[in-house]
Amino acid sequence: DAKTTQPNSMESNEEEPVHLPCNHSTISGTDYIHWYRQLPSQGPEYVIHGLTSNVNNRMASLAIAEDRKSSTLILHRATLRDAAVYYCILRDNYGQNFVFGPGTRLSVLP
Amino acid sequence: KAGVTQTPRYLIKTRGQQVTLSCSPISGHRSVSWYQQTPGQGLQFLFEYFSETQRNKGNFPGRFSGRQFSNSRSEMNVSTLELGDSALYLCASSYDRGTYGYTFGSGTRLTVV
């Protein structure tokens, strides 16, 4: 299974942008980069995913490096509700199961 | 539309007993995956079912089993419970085996005493 590396924890101030990095130097050409987050006492929640190009949705943006060996999840204005564990996961579209790492615990300070 | 529903939310069982957990996916979703989450091991994949067939299986002993019904509802069973099986069990559903993301339920908290 392709591996990802994320910082254990990060802090942000409310209403400021947050950049959550993920390194995946062994990514293969068919691996998509998925991001999920898990709020306290809830199951993980889909955030965004992409293959090569940068992606935007109502929750976040995903910036993918040109060599695809790293990516960054961008929350444009952090709110207290964004405090969660964020998981970066690689998965191809041929039915691999998701492999969750420890993720990054994001704290948002008021 | 209704989300992924897992029942029961909480369960306490005794060592040696067996337990069955239920997952109702989002209507129209054909894929159901199960995960175990513990503080020590994090989120670990158990198995995935798609159209009533097991497609993937994680590295868990044979005491852990599952099935999927024709209406896509899924159950997982753990026999001969051990203290270490205490965990949050999460179910996730997808229309197409996760290509466009999975929707997770809130989980069943199993405590083995």
21-80 of A, contacting B, C-beta below 8 A: 34, 41-46, 49
On chain B, the residues whose CB falls within 8 A of the CB of A49 are 100-101
* Strands B5-7 and B19-24, sheet pairing: antiparallel
On chain B, the residues whose CB falls within 8 A of the CB of A87 are 43
On chain A, the residues whose CB falls within 8 A of the CB of B44 are 100
For tokens 């910036």, the residue is A63
With CB atoms and an 8 Å threshold, state whether B45 touches A97: yes
The 10 Å CB-count burial string (b at 16+, else e) for A69-91 is ebbbbebeebeeebbbbbbbbbb
CB-CB contact of B76 with B24 (8 Å): no
Which residue of chain B has the CA closest to A31?
A: B99
- Tell me how far apart the alpha carbons of residues A105 and B42 are, in angstroms, rounded to a whole number: 13
Mind listing the pLDDT tens digit for each residue in A3-35? 899 999 999 999 999 999 999 998 988 889 999
Question: Would you place residue A96 in the very low, low, confident or very high pLDDT band (cuts 50, 70, 90)?
Answer: confident
- From residue A52, give the alpha-carbon distance in Å to each of A4, A95, B64, B69, B105: 16, 19, 37, 37, 29
- Tell me how far apart the alpha carbons of residues A23 and A7 are, in angstroms, rounded to a whole number: 10
Mind listing the pLDDT tens digit for each residue in B43-71? 999 999 999 999 989 999 999 999 999 99
Asked if B45 has any chain A CB less than 8 Å from its own CB, the reply is yes
Mind listing the pLDDT tens digit for each residue in A67-90? 999 999 999 999 999 999 999 999
